[in-house]
Amino acid sequence: MKSSFIHLNDLPDEILIYILKKLNNVEVLYSLIGVNDRLNKIANNSIFTNHLTLMKYLSNDSIYPLANSTLDRLCSKILPLIHNKIEWLNIEPSSIKRILLVTNYPNFHEIGLYNTNMKKFLSIFTDKLSLIRIDKNEILSLVIDITKNKKKISIETG
């Protein structure tokens, strides 16, 4: 009996996109950008680039920063390529300055800041260096997840 193998590149774009939509957008970008022209084009689809969650959620609702190696590649290669497509970022405080300072985000209008406390939140939004490339007047929606004594307080504006 003859066996046949189907490779990722053999699948039509529509099927690939359907499969990739089941993954986290950052995983799609990290895995596909730089592989080949076809996968670059698919990864650059607004489905995967306009809303990014640049942190990890664990099953117990804990939030952690991305691994340094992942963040390095995102900041050096991926975010500069897709910066004009990003509309929403979900970030945790330890990597916010690095992410926001890496490039200009001309279509950025919404931000979610998670796993923070009031002191960190205030320092991020009062420190001129942290938001130097983002016009605060362009932020249409702000989601803040403040941890106070291990209890979460969520604030949404919009």
**Most confident by average pLDDT, 6-15, 69-78, 89-98, 131-140:** 69-78
> Roughly how many angstroms between the first and final C-alpha of the chain, as a whole number?
60
pLDDT tens for residues 101-133? 899 898 988 888 888 777 777 776 666 555 555
What's the predicted TM-score (pTM) here? 0.80
**Residue 83 structure tokens:** 């910066």
